């Protein structure tokens, strides 16, 4: 008996092929997306593990960095510091493997190509090279060997590719010494600090051809930068095994004390979270790892809701047959299997249809896109069977659960009630009837019909909300992206170039005066909260202001007041992220650590729009505390004046406003395809969900509509009623979908928020209108389908039905 | 004065193996104010005739004029307009809208016809004896009361012709009588012509004329002296 019932159910489902296909498609899209994201997350995790590994193939990423922000240590000092750290090693449970001194300097590359001209650079002088080695994998991307002679260099693959630099080329470079030198390229590879190829302080990957990094011997960099032999500004510490985070925090604090007791340079001690590239890529992978089961689950849930509603409708339409069977003695348990098998069939079909393109196209596509955006080759792509099965299992579990309740409902139908037709009576609530009685009957009927099945409607809104979360999150993200990634560059910053220096501002100011450029000095200096190893960036601005014209770098004050300068305890603004993570409030005084100096600051307000943790000082206040006057000179260039080699040779690096804006446009262009695909997917699913519910609503109202047609109601009148109903559903669904998108995106963002990358999102009014408008549009677009259905009604048959 | 003039009306259905002649040359003339009962066995063509008169169905052949005008056919919107302007219809199963009160059911039809008139709606409910039930929902009143609401609803837009298809078929005999009395009273009061399809010979006493059909033909057409 149950087999025949199952066959009957299969035939019934087959009659709703369009709806069935839509549901299967939703499951397959969920599995497809899960596999694509999962493969990306797994492959990238494996890639980073391989790159950072402490073995011959890996780069042996250090665990602790000690960086001198105020200049270089001479050879003896750096050796002594390493010796002091070794001798005074503070935590017995951890073993120090190696302490290696390094030299790093900003600089420029001068291209022979006039169109490229001067390129901002970072040069690494690598001494022993046991830690944080250059990574030259056996892959088409890379070739050559590490530098061994003083005039040799390995160029980062990102830059080599963009600047068309090859092995044996001679490149002309400088490092702030006032002259340039030629270096022979002996290798093309990567370095852990620059896997994510962005300039210091930038979140966007550098626009191709605007940034270069190179890895030479320490002698090579000493010669280039006119440093003394043995000078260094970095100590790399490698510890056996992987220390626990608490042990590591304590170790950083102790090492900071050891170093500051033995040297008074402004230095900072940090772990891997202090390396922007490492941390950014880790956060990216962590985000992808968290996201892919959610994406699959969310899409499967939308499919599950659609299955649930469709099965409920099917059971309602088959209620009389079920009642007859029950009257004839068929057991409740015999009725259930078909309704359980249906979603399993849908899940398996959708799952298989998602797995095949997911493995063949989705996963490779995501990996290729990652390679294109990040510029890092994924050498061993990983599309594991367990990840595929995990996605399939999530989809199956959700889809299976969606069939249980309708199956149970089918088995619980009371034959007498069904045969009397009582199960079909569905009235709107008394309260709603009372409220709507003030309207004309047509309007009252429209409203009451719309909410006649509140559970179905709520589930529909939930499904629309989920699908709009896909669309909405993209819209809202794109809305906030400019703010997040550009840090207000377009709205709040009016400089044309930022020229970096380490207290060597005289040459730059001279250049500015000669070229009639307006300049403003600023400080950017890393620090930490007291008793906390996490890094923040202190800005020292000439004028901490919000109004155009008052400063080349305006702050976006979210709460509180602007600080005053020259007070004994400097007044500062902190970003919302610091407030969020440390709970620091306006009016409170807290301590910040800059190298060996601890500075008490009073908070007067919060700023927004900073993705990194930021504190804003008056430059004079910060300069007094850290002993540096400027690390960056912001320039406004008159028409026709461009930065030149003279300026470059007197600086440690130059960031051009137009390059940063171009980077943003490039990354948006690269990701646009994916954004549009996700937006389109969200809309398609919302269409399918609304279509499903509205068609079911219409089908259930056949009798009602047929009666009105027979009684002479015109198609246009009925169409107007349907339009009103769809408009109401669209409006409510749109508003709920918008709220869902906002809350969902905020939850998603806050789940990924961390010290090094914190941002809040806000939707613009136009985005809110788009979100609501799309659902309203979808909903009312389905009115013609309803009208077509009414128009094609065979009234003779309907009258026959009405009389039976 | 003639309201309905049907001449040589035929309605054929093409089935898989044969053509069914549901109406096979019907000639029928109905004057204003008449109450006609169509009687006949199942398959005799009663409902098909009713559907053609209501312009729900298109006759295969023949002429049909209403109040001197030719009735539109093969044009859904024109047929709908014809129904809206001329025809009231009462179903066997009432088919009231469960979400609307008794009064709202009537107002809805008025609104859809473009002439909402609450006073008249209440008057009609009084006419069928339901003035006390205006704010109740269909599920809260009896079957007989529901059918009386359906009658009031069909009169709401002042049709020239009221059609009923087995309108007492779902009611017991006592309730049927009450409904029919209400119908006669209401239609007389409004001057409305009535055509009813039924199996129930006993309803003949409410008619002014009884037309019997069999195999798609009129086999008798008798005036009734009530």
Reported as a pLDDT band with limits 50, 70 and 90, residue A1 is: very low
Reported as a pLDDT band with limits 50, 70 and 90, residue A427 is: low
Instruction: Write the residue in B80, B91, B108 that is nearest to A442 by C-beta.
Output: B108
Q: Report pLDDT digits (tens) over B126-152.
A: 888 888 888 888 888 888 888 889 888
The answer to whether A450 touches A727, Cβ cutoff 8 Å, is no
Cα of A402 vs its chain's centroid, Å = 31
**ipTM of this predicted structure:** 0.73
Q: Give the pLDDT confidence score for residue B28 in this predicted structure.
A: 94
Q: Which residues of B81-102 are buried (b: 16+ CB within 10 A; e: fewer)?
A: ebbbebbbbbbbbbbbbbbbbb
Residue with tokens 């095994």: A241
| Closest CA relative to residue A86, chosen from A68, A103, A64 | A64
B95 φψ region: left (φ > 0), alpha (ψ -120 to 50), beta (else): left
Residue with tokens 């906390």: A532
CA distance A189 to A177: 26
| Closest CA relative to residue A204, chosen from A630, A620, A619, A667 | A667
pLDDT at A271 over 50: yes
Q: Give the chain A residue nearest B162 (alpha carbons).
A: A711
Query: Exposed, middle or buried, B214 (CB in 10 Å: 0-12/13-18/19+)?
Result: middle
List, edge to edge, every strand of the sheet that includes B193-198: B87-90, B161-165, B193-198, B35-39, B209-214, B217-223
Q: Report pLDDT digits (tens) over A241-265.
A: 777 877 888 888 888 888 888 887 7
Q: Give the chain A residue nearest B103 (alpha carbons).
A: A441
Q: Report pLDDT digits (tens) over A215-237.
A: 999 999 999 999 999 899 999 99
Measure Cα distances from A66 to A196, A447, A533, A613, A793 in Å: 21, 68, 12, 20, 80
CA distance A493 to A472: 29
Is the Cβ pair B77, A714 closer than 8 Å?
A: yes
Chain A nearest C-alpha distance from B93 (Å): 6
Q: What is the DSSP string of A338-397?
A: HHHHHHHHHHHHHHHHHHHHIIIIIHHHHHHHHHHHH----SS----HHHHHHHHHHHHH
Q: Give the pLDDT confidence score for residue A744 in this predicted structure.
A: 82
Q: Give the pLDDT confidence score for residue A139 in this predicted structure.
A: 85
Question: What is the average per-residue pLDDT within A401-426?
Answer: 72
Is the Cβ pair A441, B100 closer than 8 Å?
A: yes
Q: Percent of chain A having pLDDT more than 90?
A: 26
Instruction: Write the residue in B91, B111, B113 that is nearest to A712 by C-beta.
Output: B113
Q: Give the pLDDT confidence score for residue B217 in this predicted structure.
A: 94
Chain mean pLDDT for chain A: 83
Question: What is the average per-residue pLDDT within A662-691?
Answer: 75
Q: Give the pLDDT confidence score for residue A141 in this predicted structure.
A: 86
Is the Cβ pair B165, A803 closer than 8 Å?
A: yes
Coil vs helix vs strand at A537: strand
Residues of B with CB under 8 A from a CB of A: 47, 51, 54, 56-57, 76-77, 80-81, 83-85, 87-89, 91-93, 95, 97-101, 104-105, 107-109, 111-113, 116, 137, 139, 153-154, 157, 165-166, 169
Q: Report pLDDT digits (tens) over B184-194.
A: 888 888 889 99
Q: Give the pLDDT confidence score for residue A790 in this predicted structure.
A: 81
| Closest CA relative to residue B184, chosen from B212, B226, B156 | B226
Q: pTM of the prediction?
A: 0.67
Q: Give the chain A residue nearest B100 (alpha carbons).
A: A445
Question: What is the average per-residue pLDDT within A368-386?
Answer: 84
Instruction: Write the residue in A428, A710, A711 that is nearest to B99 by C-beta.
Output: A428
Measure Cα distances from A193 to A55, A59, A127, A132, A327 in Å: 18, 11, 16, 9, 75
Angle (deg, nearest 10), helices A657-700 and A17-52: 150
Q: Report pLDDT digits (tens) over A147-158.
A: 999 999 999 999
Question: What is the average per-residue pLDDT within A37-41?
Answer: 86
Q: Report pLDDT digits (tens) over A311-344.
A: 787 777 777 777 777 776 667 777 777 778 888 8
Coil vs helix vs strand at A131: coil
* Contacts with B91 from chain A: Cβ below 8 Å: 707, 710, 799, 802-803
Query: Exposed, middle or buried, A236 (CB in 10 Å: 0-12/13-18/19+)?
Result: buried
| Closest CA relative to residue A763, chosen from A733, A743, A784, A736 | A743
Question: What is the average per-residue pLDDT within A673-681?
Answer: 75
The alpha carbon torsion through B53, B55, B60, B65 (nearest 10 deg) reads 60
Q: Give the chain A residue nearest B167 (alpha carbons).
A: A803
The answer to whether A774 touches A686, Cβ cutoff 8 Å, is yes
| Closest CA relative to residue B53, chosen from A791, A718, A706, A796 | A796
Helix (H) or strand (E) holding A13: helix A2-15
Is the Cβ pair B80, A796 closer than 8 Å?
A: no
What domains sit in chain B, N to C, each tagged with a CATH number?
A: 2-223 (3.40.50.300)
pLDDT at B64 over 90: yes
Q: Report pLDDT digits (tens) over A348-362.
A: 999 999 999 999 998
Reported as a pLDDT band with limits 50, 70 and 90, residue A749 is: confident
> CB within 8 A of A683, min separation 6: which ones?
A467, A471, A774, A778
The answer to whether A600 touches A591, Cβ cutoff 8 Å, is yes
Q: Give the pLDDT confidence score for residue A432 in this predicted structure.
A: 74
Q: Give the pLDDT confidence score for residue A80 in this predicted structure.
A: 92
Question: What is the average per-residue pLDDT within A280-295?
Answer: 77
Q: Report pLDDT digits (tens) over A610-641.
A: 878 999 999 999 999 888 889 999 999 998 88
* Contacts with A436 from chain B: Cβ below 8 Å: none
Is the Cβ pair B84, A712 closer than 8 Å?
A: yes
Q: Report pLDDT digits (tens) over A639-666.
A: 888 888 788 777 777 888 887 777 777 7
Q: Report pLDDT digits (tens) over A133-178.
A: 899 988 888 999 999 999 999 999 999 988 999 999 999 998 877 7
Q: Give the pLDDT confidence score for residue A692 in this predicted structure.
A: 77
CA distance A531 to A10: 66
Q: What is the DSSP string of chain B?
A: -EEEEEEEEEEEEE-SS-EEEEEEEEEEEEETT-EEEEE--TTSSHHHHHHHHTTSS--SEEEEEETTEEPP-S-HHHHHHHHHHHEEEE-TT----TTS-HHHHHHHHHHHTT---HHHHHHHHHHTT-GGGTTS-GGGS-HHHHHHHHHHHHHTT--SEEEEESTTTTS-HHHHHHHHHHHHHHHHHHT-EEEEEES-GGGGGG-SEEEEEETTEEEEEEE---
Instruction: Write the residue in B98, B108, B153 that is nearest to A427 by C-beta.
Output: B98
Q: What is the DSSP string of A167-219?
A: TT-EEEEE-SSS-EEEEEEEEEEB-GGGSS---TT--SPPPTTSEEEEEEEHH
Q: Give the pLDDT confidence score for residue A38 in this predicted structure.
A: 87
Question: What is the average per-residue pLDDT within A370-397?
Answer: 86
Q: Give the pLDDT confidence score for residue B8 in this predicted structure.
A: 94
Q: Give the pLDDT confidence score for residue A583 in this predicted structure.
A: 93
Instruction: Write the residue in B56, B100, B104 that is nearest to A795 by C-beta.
Output: B56
The alpha carbon torsion through A773, A779, A783, A789 (nearest 10 deg) reads 160
Bridge partners of B162, per DSSP, are B88, B194
Q: Give the pLDDT confidence score for residue A803 in this predicted structure.
A: 55
Angle (deg, nearest 10), helices A657-700 and A276-317: 10
Q: Percent of chain A having pLDDT more than 70?
A: 93
Reported as a pLDDT band with limits 50, 70 and 90, residue A589 is: very high
Q: Give the pLDDT confidence score for residue B25 in this predicted structure.
A: 92
CB pairs below 8 Å between A and B: how many? 107
Based on its alpha-carbon atoms, the radius of gyration of chain B, rounded to whole angstroms, reads: 17
In this structure, of A399-403, A484-488, B44-48, the range with the lowest mean pLDDT score is A484-488
Torsion sign, CA atoms A287, A289, A290, A292: positive
Q: Give the pLDDT confidence score for residue A804 in this predicted structure.
A: 52
A445 touches chain B (CB under 8 A): yes
Reported as a pLDDT band with limits 50, 70 and 90, residue A408 is: confident
CA distance B93 to B71: 27
Chain A nearest C-alpha distance from B13 (Å): 12
Question: What is the average per-residue pLDDT within A20-43?
Answer: 85
Measure Cα distances from A514 to A266, A517, A519, A638, A645 in Å: 33, 8, 12, 12, 14
Residue A613 has phi, psi (to 5 degrees) of -75, 130
Q: Give the pLDDT confidence score for residue B144 in this predicted structure.
A: 85
Reported as a pLDDT band with limits 50, 70 and 90, residue A346 is: confident
Q: Give the pLDDT confidence score for residue A481 in this predicted structure.
A: 67
């Amino acid at each position: 008996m149950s087999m025949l019932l199952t066959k009957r159910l299969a035939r019934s489902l087959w009659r709703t092929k369009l709806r069935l296909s839509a549901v299967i498609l939703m499951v397959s899209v969920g599995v497809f997306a899960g596999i694509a994201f999962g493969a990306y997350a797994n492959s990238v995790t494996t890639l980073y593990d391989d790159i950072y590994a402490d073995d011959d193939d890996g780069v042996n990423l250090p665990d602790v960095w000690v960086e001198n922000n105020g200049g270089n240590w001479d050879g003896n000092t750096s050796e002594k510091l390493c010796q002091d750290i070794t001798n005074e090693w503070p935590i017995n449970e951890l073993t120090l493997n190696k302490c290696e001194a390094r030299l790093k300097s900003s600089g420029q590359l001068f291209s022979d190509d006039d169109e490229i001209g001067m390129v901002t650079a970072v040069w690494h002088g690598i001494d022993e090279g046991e830690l944080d080695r250059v990574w030259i994998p056996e892959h088409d991307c890379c070739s050559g060997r590490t530098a061994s002679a003083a005039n040799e260099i390995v160029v980062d693959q990102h830059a080599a590719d963009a600047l068309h630099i090859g092995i044996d080329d001679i490149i002309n470079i400088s490092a702030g010494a006032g002259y340039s030198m030629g270096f022979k390229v002996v290798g093309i590879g990567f370095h852990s600090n620059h896997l994510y190829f962005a300039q210091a302080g930038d979140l966007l990957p550098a626009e191709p051809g605007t940034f270069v990094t190179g890895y030479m011997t320490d002698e090579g960099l000493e010669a280039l930068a006119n440093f003394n032999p043995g000078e260094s500004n970095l100590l790399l510490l490698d510890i056996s095994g992987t220390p626990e985070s608490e042990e590591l925090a304590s170790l950083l604090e102790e090492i900071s004390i050891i170093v500051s007791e033995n040297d008074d340079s402004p230095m900072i001690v940090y772990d891997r979270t202090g390396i922007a590239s490492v941390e950014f890529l880790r956060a990216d992978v962590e985000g992808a790892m968290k996201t892919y089961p959610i994406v699959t689950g969310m899409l499967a849930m939308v499919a599950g809701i659609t299955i649930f509603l469709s099965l409920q409708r099917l059971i309602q339409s088959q209620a009389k047959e079920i009642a007859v069977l029950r009257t004839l003695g068929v057991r409740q348990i015999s009725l259930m299997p078909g309704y359980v098998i249906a979603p399993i069939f849908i899940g398996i079909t959708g799952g298989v249809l998602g797995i095949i393109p997911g493995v063949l196209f989705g996963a490779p596509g995501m990996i290729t896109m990652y390679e294109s955006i990040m510029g890092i080759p994924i050498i061993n792509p990983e599309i594991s069977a367990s990840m595929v099965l995990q996605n399939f299992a999530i989809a199956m579990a959700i889809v299976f659960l969606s069939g249980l309740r309708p199956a149970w409902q089918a088995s619980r139908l009371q034959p007498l009630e069904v045969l009397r037709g009582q199960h079909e009576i569905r009235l709107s609530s008394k309260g709603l009837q009372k409220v709507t009685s003030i309207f004309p009957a047509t309007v009252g009927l429209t409203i009451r019909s719309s909410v006649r099945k509140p559970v179905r409607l709520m589930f529909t809104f939930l499904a629309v909300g989920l699908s709009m979360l896909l669309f909405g999150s993209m819209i809202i993200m794109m809305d906030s992206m400019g703010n997040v990634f550009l840090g207000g560059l377009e709205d709040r910053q009016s400089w044309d170039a930022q020229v970096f220096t380490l207290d060597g501002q005289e040459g730059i100011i001279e250049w500015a005066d000669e070229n009639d450029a307006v300049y403003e000095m600023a400080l950017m200096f890393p620090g930490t909260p007291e008793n906390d190893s996490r890094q923040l960036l202190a800005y020292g601005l000439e004028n901490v202001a919000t109004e155009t014209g008052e400063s080349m770098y305006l702050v976006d004050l979210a709460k509180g007041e602007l600080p005053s300068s020259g007070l004994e305890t400097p007044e500062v603004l902190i970003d919302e992220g610091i407030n969020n993570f440390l709970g620091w409030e306006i009016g409170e005084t807290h301590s910040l650590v800059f190298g060996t100096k601890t500075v008490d600051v009073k908070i007067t307000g919060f700023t927004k729009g900073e993705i990194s943790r930021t504190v804003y000082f008056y430059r004079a206040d910060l300069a007094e505390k850290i002993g540096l006057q400027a690390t960056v000179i912001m320039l406004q260039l008159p028409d026709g004046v461009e930065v030149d080699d003279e300026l470059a040779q007197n600086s440690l690096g130059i960031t051009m406003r137009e390059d940063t804006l171009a980077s943003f446009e490039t990354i948006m262009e690269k990701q646009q395809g994916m954004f549009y695909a996700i937006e389109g997917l969200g809309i398609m699913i919302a269409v399918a969900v609304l279509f499903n519910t509205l068609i079911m609503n219409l089908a259930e109202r056949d009798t009602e509509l047929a009666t009105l047609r027979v009684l002479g109601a015109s198609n246009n009148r009925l169409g107007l009623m349907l339009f009103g109903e769809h408009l109401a559903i669209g409006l409510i669904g749109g508003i709920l979908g918008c709220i869902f998108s906002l809350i969902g995106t905020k939850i998603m963002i806050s789940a990924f928020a961390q010290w090094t990358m914190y941002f809040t999102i806000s939707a613009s009014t136009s985005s809110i209108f788009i979100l609501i408008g799309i659902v309203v549009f979808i909903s009312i677009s389905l009115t013609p389908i309803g009208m077509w259905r009414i128009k094609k009604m065979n009234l003779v048959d309907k009258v026959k039905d009405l009389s039976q | 004065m003639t309201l309905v003039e049907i001449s040589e009306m035929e309605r054929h259905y093409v089935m898989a193996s044969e053509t069914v002649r549901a109406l096979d040359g019907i000639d029928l003339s109905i004057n204003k104010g008449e109450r006609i009962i169509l009687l006949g066995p199942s398959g005799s063509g009663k409902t098909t005739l009713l559907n053609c008169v209501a312009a729900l169905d298109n006759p295969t052949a023949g002429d049909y004029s209403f109040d001197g005008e030719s009735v539109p056919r093969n044009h859904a919107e024109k047929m709908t307009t014809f129904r809206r302007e001329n025809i009231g219809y009462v179903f066997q199963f009432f088919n009231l809208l469960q979400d609307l009160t008794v009064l709202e059911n009537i107002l809805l039809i008025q609104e859809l016809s473009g002439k909402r008139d609450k006073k008249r709606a209440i008057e009609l409910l009084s006419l069928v004896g339901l003035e006390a039930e205006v704010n109740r929902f269909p599920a809260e009143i009896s079957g007989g009361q529901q059918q009386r609401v359906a009658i009031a609803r069909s009169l709401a837009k002042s049709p020239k012709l009221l059609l009923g298809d087995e309108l007492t078929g779902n009611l017991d005999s006592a309730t049927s009588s009450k409904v029919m009395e209400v119908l006669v009273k209401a239609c007389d009061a409004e001057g409305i012509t009535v055509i009813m399809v039924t199996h129930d010979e006993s309803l003949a006493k409410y008619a002014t004329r009884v037309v019997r059909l069999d195999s798609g033909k009129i086999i008798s057409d008798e005036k009734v002296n009530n």
